[in-house]
Amino acid sequence: MKNTIRLTLILILLIGQAATHAFGQTVREVPPDSIKYEGSLYQKAATKPKYPKVVGYLSFVLPLETLQAGHFTPNFAHHSASIGFPIGLNVLYSDRFGFSYEFTPTVKASGGTSKMSNLQFAPGTMFRFDHGFTVITRLAFETSGRYGFTPVFNQVYARSKTVNYFAALSLPNRFGNSDPYSIGLNLQFGFTFN
């Protein structure tokens, strides 16, 4: 009895498979760069971005460490901390080159109070590479009286239809305002609008 039931189920499955192949349509997978319309496959037109293209971005930057006059100063030392909020526009001229305009207000918290301690304007050139990697060479002009340059190493780590998320390491080199030369290490996270 059990063998008869098993044999019947196997026959039903085999007949069903044979009927599907004999009478049913074959299902073709649609490649990701194609569309299916009224039973026919059509290749999608390759769309290249039009340049120049302007994109905006928002982010925050954490100064991690600063070396000045031979002394390392961590950002989160002596009950004080700073955080910057870079906002800017990138003007992209090609897949490989662009120009960036950035404003960064910095807030410093110390001794139980906080204040905006600095505003920086940092224009720079963008050299764009494969896989979302970009090197940005920025000039820097600060309301604190300091000036200098900042190399930035930027990597897009996630993409969506409307925004790209990025992380960056920067090395701010500063001069002026009767202070010794300083170099820092900053970590930045943010997103660009597509």
What is d(CA 66, CA 168) in angstroms, rounded to the nearest whole number? 17
* pLDDT for res 153: 98
Specify the CATH class of 53-193 in words: mainly beta
* pLDDT for res 112: 87
pTM of the model: 0.73
Tokens 């955080």 sit on residue: 83
What is d(CA 93, CA 105) in angstroms, rounded to the nearest whole number? 27
Domain boundaries, the chain: 2-43, 53-193
* Regions of the chain where pLDDT drops below 70: 1-47
Displacement of CA 50 from its chain's centroid (Å) = 20
* pLDDT for res 14: 57
Give residue-wise pLDDT tens across range 73-102: 888 877 889 999 999 999 999 999 999 999
* pLDDT for res 30: 53
